[in-house]
Chain A
Amino acid sequence: MSQYPALTSGRRPVGVVSFAQYDNVRREDARNEVEMLMPVVTEVFGNIGITKDDVGFICSGSTDYLIGGPFSFVAALDAVGVWPPRAESHVEMDGAWALYEAWVLLQEGEIDAALVYCFGRSSMGDLSEIMAVQLDPYYLAPLWPDPTSLAALQAQALIDAGKATEADFAAVASRSRRSALDNPKAQVAYDRSAEELLAEDYEVAPLRRHALPPLTDGCAAVVLAAGDKAYEWCERPAFITGIDHRIETHSVGARDLTVSPSTRTAGEKAGVGTKKVDVAELHAPYAHQELILAEALGLGDGVSVNPSGGALAANPMMSAGLIRIGESARRIWSGQADRAVAHATSGPCLQQNLVCVLEGV
């Protein structure tokens, strides 16, 4: 009889059993999205010796705004090959939310396995402008605020509230980029002290270059399997024991940017605080956001935060959230961790947040 962890969310144990990601790069000039995805999909199936015929559902996350072409998510399906026809869905969000949809379907019990993939490229347009289009179209988008400027307002609010200093931001960046040295998929990794980083000029005060995420082209994929199927394909599946996502108002000015109530609620619903957390992979594109997230999730000192380097190591749009789940799962498969918290964010200044608790038996 297979052993399963107690579930906070759902009733059917669903595990992350395979994960693959593209070599995160500043600019992928040669390959199109399908050509980027194909090796990743091949790897995510190949890792566990299955084929597309072994999954009953495919769900993807991406946004056409990055590529500037309508229905790019339909074209991307060519990377999987969907014949004979199969159930498929797409979210105009990070792949972490595509994983959520697949998890919900797996709870229904009609299928036992799903492929989740996502892709995003920052190099095809001006990301600062593209990201502004997601904002409230009346009061905010016409001002074309870029994501770094909005994040800087949040960072300044943290400083003004006495909750953090620029040195704290630098400490996060220094630790993350040092951790990233052990991540072969990292785009930015270095061994530099926080003091050294503080000597950099401001990009947008109070944020210096080190506090910003890199611009990344990339993609990622995960296979989910339920119940015994998870054990069939993986010796120690990373079971999703809790998963929840919450959103705050689209109006950045109406929020207290120094806290993340949506992350706090999602974390509570996913049962983050019920047991010891070994590893947390937080999708914090800007260094100061890790501090806000760690507080919202109540992560204590014993937690290893972003051992992969997080989004500061590589930030492929629409994929960096799913990669947090994949990086967490990897550490459970290997036995490095028994319980991990993965987080994904979307929208300006941590507007929407997903929390996924993974456990091995």
Chain B
Amino acid sequence: MSEREPVTMMDAATRLDYEFTAGVAMSKNLHGYEQGKFIGQRCPKCKKVYVPSRGSCPTDGLPTDEIVELPNTGTVTTYCVVNVPFAGQSIEIPYICGQILLDGANLSFMGLLQEIPIDEVRMGLRVEAVWVPPEELGPTLASVKYFRPNGEPDADYETYKEYL
């Protein structure tokens, strides 16, 4: 034994597979994408609309049972120009990643911004969703191809300052 080299390192590869349960509320949101719709839910107490909702209001701890269909338009609350390549990147750089606050929603989500020069993107930019063709719609946010300017004047900072 003493003639052998000590073991200083070993590999122990681990792989665990899971089935994810979206949940009741998130399923409604995902099925909305199949129809080209943004489906959110409203808290019965604070009246905030979450899109997507995880089924509860994180502030009040109450079920967000009321279904709210949101429009196709929203505001860019903040954004980032992606210049750095990374593993698994599917979009050519540089591209713009924006936080989108849909009109009537109280939760923003991340979306791709296109049809605008990079140096013209800005906070408060008014945008609309561009969906994939109807035959490609599925229960995924990938059904939204990207967001693009809808031509409206920029939103007042006061209207979205809580959602940066």
Residues on A lying within 8 angstroms of B by beta carbon are 28-32, 34-35, 38, 41, 52, 65, 67-69, 75, 77-83, 121, 123-126, 129-130, 133, 137-138, 141-142
Separation in Å of the B29 CB from the closest CB of chain A? 12
Q: Which residues of B contact A69 (CB under 8 A)?
A: 20
Proximity bits, B55-67, A CB within 8 Å = 1, else 0? 1111111110000
- Do A125 and B56 touch (CB < 8 A)? no
Q: Is the interface of B mostly helix, strand, loop or mixed?
A: loop
Closest to B18 in A: A68
- Do A81 and B56 touch (CB < 8 A)? yes
Tell me which of B8-16, B76-84, B107-115, B151-159 binds A: B8-16
Q: How large is the interface on B (under 10, 10 to 19, 20 to 34, 35 or more residues)?
A: 20 to 34
- Do B14 and A34 touch (CB < 8 A)? no
**Further 17 A-B residue pairs, CB within 8 A, beyond A32-B54, A34-B23, A124-B19:** A30-B21, A30-B23, A30-B24, A30-B27, A31-B23, A31-B55, A32-B22, A35-B24, A35-B25, A41-B61, A65-B16, A81-B58, A121-B21, A124-B20, A125-B17, A125-B18, A138-B10
- CB-CB under 8 A for A78 and B56, given A32-B22, A32-B23, A138-B10: yes
- Do A142 and B12 touch (CB < 8 A)? yes
- Complex: A31 Cα to B61 Cα, angstroms: 16
Proximity bits, B115-134, A CB within 8 Å = 1, else 0? 00000000000000000000
The 4 closest A-B pairs by CB, nearest first: A81-B61, A32-B23, A68-B18, A83-B59
Q: Name A35's contact: one of B10, B18, B56 (CB within 8 Å).
A: B56
Q: Which residues of A contact B26 (CB under 8 A)?
A: 32
Q: Which residues of B contact A130 (CB under 8 A)?
A: 16
Q: Name B61's contact: one of A32, A65, A75, A79 (CB within 8 Å).
A: A79
- Do A38 and B16 touch (CB < 8 A)? no
- CB-CB under 8 A for A35 and B55, given A30-B23, A68-B16: yes
Closest to B57 in A: A81
- Do A78 and B21 touch (CB < 8 A)? no
- Do B18 and A124 touch (CB < 8 A)? yes
- Complex: A126 Cα to B59 Cα, angstroms: 34
- Do B16 and A81 touch (CB < 8 A)? no
- Most chain A CB neighbours (cut-off 10 Å) among B18, B21, B57: B21
Closest to B12 in A: A142
- Do A68 and B23 touch (CB < 8 A)? no
- Do A34 and B16 touch (CB < 8 A)? no
Q: Name B58's contact: one of A28, A29, A77, A123 (CB within 8 Å).
A: A77
Closest to A28 in B: B21
Q: Which residues of B contact A78 (CB under 8 A)?
A: 54-58, 61
